Every structure is written in structure tokens, then in C-alpha cells.
Amino acid sequence: MNLKNRWIDLDGAVNVRDLGGIPTRDGGVTRHGRILRADNLQGLTPAHVARLVGELKVRHVVDLRSTAEVMLEGPGPLTAVPEVTHHHLTLFPEGGRRTDVEADTIDADRVLPWHERQIDPELRVTGFYYGYLRDRPDAVVRALRTLARDDGAAVVHCAAGKDRTGVLAALALDVAGATREGIVADYAATGERLELILRRLRASDTYRDDLDSRPADDHMPRPRYIEQFLAVLDDRFGGPLGWLERHGWTDGDTQAMRARLLD
């Protein structure tokens, strides 16, 4: 998988890449220019808003941030562009703190930073990424359906473009037929931009305290995190598609995602 051809360098966002070029189970690769993944798009410059809309044909933005994050940071400049439809679909149950940039998806001895509660016993077993699916299955399905639409490109983002965005990207890629190795490699690729991501988020009052409470290396997107998440879906539902079908995903949805990302 050639990451060099997948990164998209923008002023105001540092973790933007194309979900094209990822190996598929039938020996091909996913299509470029259809689905992008990103960190927070709030800081995009006018020139690079124009690039996303004009050159890259972005027509849908799936914003996975919490309502609190959107209120504190703003909805982002793409919401002011008539050609672009904004879809705010948080993966949180909307009852706690601001962000998941501090979330450790494996270490069950830590409380999720946006919930002041005891560790959920189920999440000790499944990993915190499964909590997104358990708490907001409606948002997960709606987000994936939006990414599968065929009227221009779509971009999905959260704050760091690592955890929430990583889960949605993994699900979309699995449905489209990407190899498990390709999905894991795409997730881990955020680590190449981690220093830039953390520097950017630390410039915001919204995220600084969460980030400074742990060393930078703790935020690294390690392959075993997404591997554990996918293994839970394999064991419980026969894979991501099995979980989606239990929550209203249809054969037509699967065909749309595959048409979107496959040649």
C-alpha cells in the first residue's frame, strides 16, 4: 500500500488521506477520490476549502465530534459552502466531556475521558471502540450510508482523525472488501502524523488538558487496537457486516459501498 499517494496536504488539517489504494480481498485496490478521512477541519484556509470542493469534489462532510466539541470549536468552514452537506453524527451518548483524543482503546484501567463513571465491565472485554457501536449504532449506520453516496466525494472526521474516524474508516473498508491487513495499515498510518496532530490539538483550549495528562506515545494508534475491535465483531457477529445487518444495514447499502470504493 503506497501511503505517499494517499496523503492530502492541506493548510489547517494535518491528518487527511484518501481511502483509495488499499488492497482488496479480490486482488484489487480501493478507488481514489471517493472517501477521505481527516482530523478536525475547523482550521481549513479558504484556499484549501476551495481545493476540497473544487478539485477533490467533496460534497458531504461526516462530523463525528460531540455536540460540545462543535460548540466549542465551531462547525467548520465547509458548513458555509452551498455545495457541501454537513452531517453531524456523534458517536457518543452525549452526556459527558468533550473528546476522545485521550481515549485508550485497550487499557481498561482508565476511565474514558468523556465519562465520569466506573469502567463498563463489557468494555474491559471488547475494547472502547466497541462502545461507539454499542452507544450509537444509529449514527454509525447513518454515517456509513452517507459515505456510500455517489454524488461527489465524502470526508469523515473527528478531532484527531484517529479513533472515531478510524473505526468508521475500518468499517467502510471492510464492507467494501479491503483486506484486514490493509485496514490495519490504514489505521496505523495516523501514527506518521501524530506529532503534528498533537501539536495542533494542544493549541486549542478544548483539547489541551486532556492531551497534557498523558505522554505523547500513549496516543499512538497501535495495530492491536483496531485488530481487537475487529476481532470482537468477528467473534460476536461474524464480522463487521454481521453487526451492521443487525442494525438495519441492507444488501443495497453493501452494494452502494462496494460500488463507491471498488472498480
Q: What is the domain partition of the chain in residue ranges?
A: 3-261
pLDDT in tens, the chain (263 residues): 566 789 999 999 999 999 999 999 999 999 999 999 999 999 999 999 999 999 999 999 999 999 989 999 999 999 999 999 999 999 987 544 444 443 333 332 332 333 444 567 787 767 889 999 999 999 999 999 999 999 999 999 999 999 999 999 999 999 999 999 999 999 999 999 999 999 999 999 888 887 877 787 888 999 999 999 999 999 999 999 999 999 999 999 999 999 999 98
Pairing of strands 85-88, 153-157: unpaired
- What are phi and psi for residue 118, nearest 5 degrees? -70, 155
pLDDT at 145: 98
The answer to whether residues 184 and 226 touch, using CB atoms and an 8 Å cutoff, is: yes
Q: Domain 3-261 classified CATH 2.60.120.10?
A: no
Predicted TM-score (pTM) of the model is 0.90
Residue 93 has a pLDDT of: 79
| Residue 99 CB contacts under 8 Å (≥ 6 apart), including other chains | 65, 66, 69, 113, 114, 159, 206, 207, 210
**pLDDT the model gives residue 260:** 98
Q: Specify whether the backbone of 71 is left (phi greater than 0), alpha (psi in -120 to 50) or beta.
A: alpha
Question: Judging by beta carbons within 10 Å of its beta carbon (0-12, 13-18, 19+), is residue 108 exposed, middle or buried?
Answer: middle
